[in-house]
Chains A and B, each alone.
Chain A
Amino acid sequence: MARMIAWRVPQIAATLAILSLAAFLAIGAMPGDPISLAMMADPRLGPADVERMRALHGLDQPLLLRWWAWATGVLRGEFGYSRLFARPAAEVLWPALRGSLVLLGTALALAAGLGIGAGMLAALRPRWRGAVDAVALLSQALPAFWLGILLIILFAVTLGWLPAGGAPDAGGVAEAARFLVLPVATLAIAHLAAYARHTAAAMAEVLRAPWITAARARGAPESRIAFRHALPNAAVPLLSILALDAGALVSGALITETVFARPGMGKLLTDAVMGNDHNLALLALLLVAGTTLLATLAADLAQRGLDPRLGREG
C-alpha cells in the first residue's frame, strides 16, 4: 500500500502540472483578452495605449513564461488576483467553495442515502424492483435545468411555498435550509439513480454468493444478512462513484447554480474560464482536479483494503 502511494502521488503531481499548463494555454488561446475587452469599453484607446496596457498586464510575454511565473507563485502560496472579481483569487474561491460544499454535500448525502436504500429495496424485495428502476430511469433522463425550472414554477411561483433561488439575507439555519430545498432536490434527483442502480446490482450479485446461502442455511435472519453481510461487500464498487462525487463536491454544479442563482464552484469556474481570468480559473481547476485525483486514490486504496483479490486493475 505504501508502494502504491509512493508510485501514485508523484503521478498525481505530474498530472496536475500538465493539466495547469494545458489549461493555461487553452485559456490564453481563447479570443478576447483583457485588453480587447478594455478596448470595447473605451473606444478612444489609441494604438500606443494598447501597447502600453499589454506591457502593464504582462500580456506581451510569451504564454509559457507567464505560466511559469504563475506556477512558481502558486508554489510560494501566491495565488494572484482575480481580474473578474477584482479580489485576490483565493478570497473569491472560498465563498464559492463553501456554497458548493453545502449544496452538493446535502444533495449527495441525500442521493446516496435514498439511492442505496432504494437499491437495497430493489435487491431484497423483487416486487419493488420495477418501481425503483422506473424512478432511477426517470431521474437520469430529465435535463437538470428543465427539472430545476419546473420545480421553480411549481413550488416557488405557483404555490409560493419555497424561494425561487438565491440565498437569504438573514435568518438562521431554518431560513437557509428553505433556500436549499429546491436546488438540493434538483441535484439529488439527478444523482440518486447511479447509487440505486449500483447498489441493486452489487447487492444482487452478493446475495447469490455461496456464503450468503450458507448463512441463510444457518438460519441467520434476513435483515442481518442484508446489513451485516451483503451491504459491506456491495459497498466496494460504490466507492469509485463516491470518489468521483467527491470531485463533484468541489467542482460544483454549473446548471443548478445558474438556475437557482447560488454562488458555487461550477459557475465560478465557468465564469473564470470564459472571462479570461487565468488566476482564478487555474486555482479552481487545480483544486477540483487535485481533490478528485486524491479521492480516486483513496477509493483505490480502500477497495484494495476491502477486497484483496484486486490485483493490477487497481
Chain B
Amino acid sequence: MGGDAWRLRTGLAILLLLALAALAAPGVAALLGVDPEVPDILARQAGPSAAHPLGTDELGRDILVRLLVGARVSLAVGIAAALASTVIGLAAGLLAAWRGGWVDAALMRLADGLLALPALPLLVLLAAMDPAALGLPRGGALSDVLRIVLILALFGWVGVARLARAAAISVLARDHVRAARALGVGEARLLRRHVVPALGAPLAVAASLAVAGAILAESTLSFLGLGIQPPASSWGNMLANAQDLVFSAPMAALWPGLAIALAVAGAMLVADGLRPRSG
C-alpha cells in the first residue's frame, strides 16, 4: 500500500507542478519580455540563450513560454474532456443499471457500437467539421478546446458508463441495499447514499486515465492538423509544427514531447495510486 501512496503523491506532484507552470506562464513571459504569439521570423530556431532559455521555434517564438502557455490549453483539454466523459458516463451507467431492460440494452449496445468504431478516423471526421455547424463560435483557442473536448467526450463516456453500470449493479444486488429498497427508501436517495459513494474510487481512476487519454488525443489531432489552431500554442500543435523540421531542429520537437509524456505519466500515476487493491 505504501507504494500506491507514493505513486499517488508523485503523480499529483507532477500534475501540480505542471499546473503551477501553466499559471506562471504570464509571469515568465513578462520576465523574459517575450510574447508567445508574436513571431520574429529573423530569429527562427535559435539555440538556447539568456533571452530564450529553450531557444525559439520555427517562427522565432520563445519555446519555454509557449510550453508554459501550451500547458494551459493541453491540461484544460485533458481535464475538461475527463470531466465531461465522467459526468455523461456516470449518468448513462447509473441509468442502465437502475432501469435495466431495454434502456440497459439500448445504452450498452450504443456503447458497444462506439467501442467497435475505429476512433481515430471518426475523430478526424468530427474534427474536420465546421465548428459553426455544431453551434460553436469559430476561431480562437477556446472554441478549439470546446470542439476537441466535445469530440473526446463523445467517445470517452463509454468506458465510464460500463464501469458505473457494473459497479451499480453489484451494489444494488447487496443485501443491505435490497433491504433498504424493500423498506421503501426512495430511488434517488438509494443511488446517492449507496451507489455513488461506492463508485468514487473506480471513477477517479477512470477520470485520471481519461485525462491522460485526452492529452494524447489532442496531440494526435494536432499531428493531423485538426487540433488547436495557431497562433495559440498547445503541446500537441507545438510538437506537430516542429515535425517538418525535426531533422534540423530536433529540440523543438523534444520539449513538447517530453511535456506530454510527463503529464500523461502524472495522470497515470494518479490513476494507479487511486486504484483499489482488492484482496
Contacts and interface: CB of A to CB of B under 8 A. Distances in A.
A–B proximity contact (CB within 8 A): yes
Interface of A: 11, 14-15, 18-19, 26-27, 29-31, 129-130, 133, 137-138, 140-146, 149-150, 153, 157, 201, 204-205, 208, 244, 247, 251-252, 254-255, 265-266, 269-270, 273-274, 285, 288-290, 292-293, 296, 312-313
Given A19-B113, A146-B239, A296-B112, 6 more contacts: A129-B3, A140-B265, A142-B257, A273-B122, A274-B128, A313-B169
Contact of B109 (A15, A30, A144): A15
Given A146-B257, A292-B115, A138 B265 contact: yes
Interface string B85-113: 00000000000000000000100010011
Q: Is the interface of B mostly helix, strand, loop or mixed?
A: helix
A289 B117 contact: yes
A19 B120 contact: no
B113 A141 contact: no
A247 B260 CA distance: 27
Interface string B264-279: 1100110010010111
A247 B264 CA distance: 24
Contacts of B105: 11
B243 interface: yes
5 contacts: A30-B129, A142-B260, A247-B116, A288-B116, A293-B112
B118 A153 contact: no
A266 B113 contact: no
A18 B113 CA distance: 9
B121 interface: yes
Given A18-B113, A145-B223, A153-B247, A273 B261 contact: no
Nearest to A150: B257
Contacts, number: 122
B129 A143 contact: no
B118 A247 contact: yes
Interface of B: 3, 105, 109, 112-113, 115-118, 120-122, 124-125, 128-130, 166, 169, 212, 216, 219-220, 223, 239, 243, 246-247, 250, 253, 257, 260-262, 264-265, 268-269, 272, 275, 277-279
Nearest to B262: A141
A279 B242 CA distance: 35
Nearest to A254: B120
Contacts of B260: 141-143, 146
Contact of A140 (B116, B220, B264): B264
A205 B278 CA distance: 7
Contacts of A140: 212, 264-265, 268
Q: Which of A27, A201, A204, A289 has the most CB of B within 10 A?
A: A289
A14 B246 CA distance: 47
B117 A270 contact: no
B116 A145 contact: no
A154 to B, nearest CB: 10
B118 A137 contact: no
Contact of A270 (B113, B116, B120, B239): B120
A313 B166 contact: yes
Nearest to B118: A251
A137 B120 contact: no
Contact of A289 (B113, B243, B265, B279): B113
A242 B212 CA distance: 22
Nearest to A143: B219
B121 A269 contact: yes
B118 A269 contact: yes
A141 B243 contact: no
B220 A15 contact: no
A98 B275 CA distance: 39
B118 A141 contact: no
Contact of B223 (A150, A255, A269): A255
A129 B220 CA distance: 30
A141 B124 contact: no
Given A137-B269, A312-B169, A313-B166, A153 B250 contact: yes
